[in-house]
Amino acid sequence: MTRKFILAFASIVLFSIGMMIWIARQTTASEVRAFMFPGGMVSREEIVQALTEYFQSHGSWEGVETLFMRGMGERGYGWRNRGGMQGESGMMHGMMMNQRIQIADAQGIVVYDSWERSLRTKWDAQTLTFADPIRIGKQTVGYLLIEGGMNFSRADESRLVQRLNRVAVIAAAIAGGIGLLVAILLSYSLGRPIRQLTQAASRIRAGDLSKRVEVRSRDEIGILAETFNQMADALEKAEQTRRNMTADIAHELRNPLAVQRAHLEALMDGIYPLSLENLQTVLEQNHLLTRLVEDLRTLALADSGQLTLERSTLDIAELIRRVCDHFGAQAAERQIEIVLPQRSSNHTPTLQVLGDPIRLEQILVNLLSNALRYTPAEGRIEIGLEESQDQVKITVKDSGPGIPEADLPYIFERFYRADRSRSRSEGGSGLGLAIARNLALAHGGHLEAANSPQGGAIFTLTLPKAARKIS
């Protein structure tokens, strides 16, 4: 990732530098010319070319002063047109500021002087060496001498442009080096949290689920780090739950298996006589094992979303009464009163829900057996039934000691028992409430637990109502 960041930044820097150099090379020459020759000024080579064309046209230097216009009355001279002459009208005026222009014939005699100081004088050999020859073919027909001001030729312009381009390249190289250094620093800075995430992921893959990364910002990288930590927390919790559940399952299975084995060995050794009473104990432990395995299978199917429900429309009040009848004898033995929901005129004749009758009965059995387990003798269990526009709410309230506040958040976890002093035979396997909540969720409802202000625990089961048929 760091290498990609560096390459990306480097590509941007190099592209920007290349574009800067290309634009500079394309515009430097014209900008220099415009600066050195403002107002459309021309170079010395262009003057020589214009004078050559004048001589070819006239055959002599007579009247060459007409090639220049308004020269003496202005501060500078310049070209009106870079293309030589048009008829007899002058095409040049105003060269450079404070420049003196002299033209001599082939013998070195001055035929034009912009300052009018040396007309008809003859240059010496040294002066001729400084002048630009004017040739037609191989014949020299005159000389041009420009003094003062800014004597700027094409060669001078080319050299200046080369120097400016060289300076631009050096500046671009320095800027590029600084840009690349900044790109490297930024790449390592941006890539550091990603490297930390990669290392943490490798540690978690190796089994160290306690590894976390530091959240340094609230941008996308920071959100990714926070999400990673949450994922690691969930994995660590799931792994701890798996270990605890494995240990709990092993413990739950070991007890009935040990009882079965002890009774079978006693029967085989003749310690216990082979009677129906002694075989009944083995059968009860077998039923306990069967129920535990079936409960675990139900939870596994619910977790994976593969729990099959045979849905049908049923009267939930009738189902409640049937379940209560099942526990009638057990409640009567301990003188526990079970109060069924009473119908009122505000209710419809039946409260119908759409669900699996067997699974819904399993939920109610778990809730009622849990209430009976914690309700003291001569206690009371109240079952409520309410409806709203689209839901049915069933409450099971006991008169027991209630659920300790420290245990309330964990009451629906697997193998969890608030009263750990109870034996398995009295306290159950710890799967009933977990199964009840998963079955409620599978029906599109939910199951909650709380402590009643009047004392005791209260469980609330909410189920969606069945759609009414319109006749």
Q: What is the CATH number of the domain that holds 238?
A: 1.10.287.130
In a domain, 207, yes or no: no
* pLDDT score of 80 more than 50: no
Q: Lowest-confidence range among 90-94, 153-157, 242-246, 388-392?
A: 90-94
Q: Which of 123-132, 214-223, 443-452 has the lowest mean pLDDT?
A: 214-223
Residues of the domain holding 14: 2-37+155-198
- Three-class DSSP category at 437: helix
Residues 333 and 259 in one domain: no
* Domain co-membership, 93 together with 180: no
Residue 204 lies in a domain: no
Q: What is the overall mean pLDDT for the chain?
A: 79
Say if 214 falls within a structural domain: no
Question: 199 falls in which pLDDT band (50, 70, 90)?
Answer: confident
The DSSP bridge pattern shows strands 100-105 and 110-113 to be: antiparallel
Last residue of a domain, one of 260, 275, 303: 303
- Asked if 31 and 180 sit in the same domain, the reply is yes
Helix 432-442 with 276-303: angle, nearest 10 deg: 40
Statement to judge: residues 328 and 446 lie in one domain:
yes
pLDDT category at 73 given cuts 50, 70, 90 is very low
Mean pLDDT of 392-404: 92
Query: Of 257, 280, 303, which closes a domain?
Result: 303
- The pLDDT, as a whole number, for residue 69 is 55
Residue 417 has pLDDT above 80, yes or no: no
CATH value at residue 448: 3.30.565.10
How would DSSP label each residue in 285-309? HHHHHHHHHHHHHHHHHHHTT----
Pair (259, 368) in one structural domain: no
pLDDT for the residue numbered 55: 92
Going by pLDDT thresholds of 50, 70 and 90, the confidence category of residue 194 is confident
Q: Is the pLDDT of residue 33 over 70?
A: no
User: Are 407 and 316 within one domain?
Assistant: yes
**What are the tens digits of pLDDT across the range 42-52?**
567 888 888 99
The confidence score (pLDDT) of residue 296 equals 83
In a domain, 179, yes or no: yes
What pLDDT was estimated at residue 200?
86
User: Rounded to an integer, what distance in angstroms lies between the CA atom of residue 395 and that of residue 404?
Assistant: 19
Of 50-54, 203-207, 341-345, 437-441, the one with minimum mean pLDDT is 341-345
CB 359 within 8 A of CB 442: yes
Q: What are phi and psi of 383, to 5 degrees?
A: -115, 120
**Three-state SS at 101:** strand
Model confidence at 65: pLDDT above 60: yes
Question: Do 356 and 432 meet the contact criterion of CB atoms below 8 Å apart?
Answer: no
**DSSP H stretches of helix in 206-304:** 220-269, 276-303
> Are the C-beta atoms of residues 372 and 381 closer than 8 Å to each other?
yes
Residues 317 and 299 in one domain: no
Q: Is residue 25 over pLDDT 70?
A: no
pTM of the predicted model as reported, rounded to 2 decimal places: 0.52
Q: What is the pLDDT of residue 164?
A: 75
pLDDT band at 319 (very low <50, low <70, confident <90, very high): very high
**Picking from 55-59, 199-203, 342-346, 453-457, which range would have the lowest pLDDT averaged per residue?**
342-346
Distance, C-alpha 241 to centroid of its chain: 31
Residue 213 falls within a domain, yes or no? no
- Of 21-25, 128-132, 187-191, 254-258, which range is least confident? 21-25
pLDDT tens digits, one per residue of 280-312: 888 888 888 888 888 888 888 887 778 888 899
| Domain final position from 303, 323, 354 | 303
Say which range, 198-212, 391-405, 433-447, has the weakest mean pLDDT.
198-212
Co-location of 21 and 144 in the same domain: no
How do residues 115-145 score in pLDDT, each as one tens digit?
Answer: 888 889 999 988 898 899 999 988 999 999 9
pLDDT reported for residue 247: 77
Using the 8-state DSSP alphabet, how is residue 376 labeled? P
Instruction: Please say if the pLDDT value at position 182 is more than 70.
Output: yes
Q: Which of 417, 298, 408, 301 is CA-nearest to residue 362? A: 298
Q: Is residue 470 part of a domain?
A: no
Is 210 inside a domain boundary?
no
pLDDT at 421 over 80: no
pLDDT of residue 320: 93
> With bands split at pLDDT 50, 70 and 90, how would you rate the model's confidence at 347?
very low
Would the pLDDT of 465 be above 80? yes
DSSP helix, strand, coil percent of the chain (3-state; round to 5) = 50, 15, 30
- DSSP state string for 316-334: HHHHHHHHHHHTHHHHHHT
Q: Please report the pLDDT score of residue 216 as a whole number.
A: 77
253 residue type, one letter: L
Q: Other C-beta atoms within 10 Å of 240: how many?
A: 11
Same domain, 114 and 187: no
Which residue shows structure tokens 């429309």? Answer: 313
Could you tell me the pLDDT band of residue 448, with boundaries at 50, 70 and 90? very high
> Is the pLDDT assigned to residue 406 strictly greater than 60?
yes
Is residue 450 located within the same domain as residue 347? yes
Q: Are residues 181 and 268 in the same domain?
A: no
Helices (H) and strands (E) in the chain, counts: 11, 14
Question: What is the average per-residue pLDDT within 220-227?
Answer: 83
397 and 258 in a single domain? The answer is no
> Picking from 180-194, 198-212, 419-433, 440-454, which range would have the lowest pLDDT averaged per residue?
419-433
Number of domains the chain contains: 4
Q: What number is the average pLDDT over the span 359-371?
A: 92
Does residue 208 lie within any of the structural domains?
no
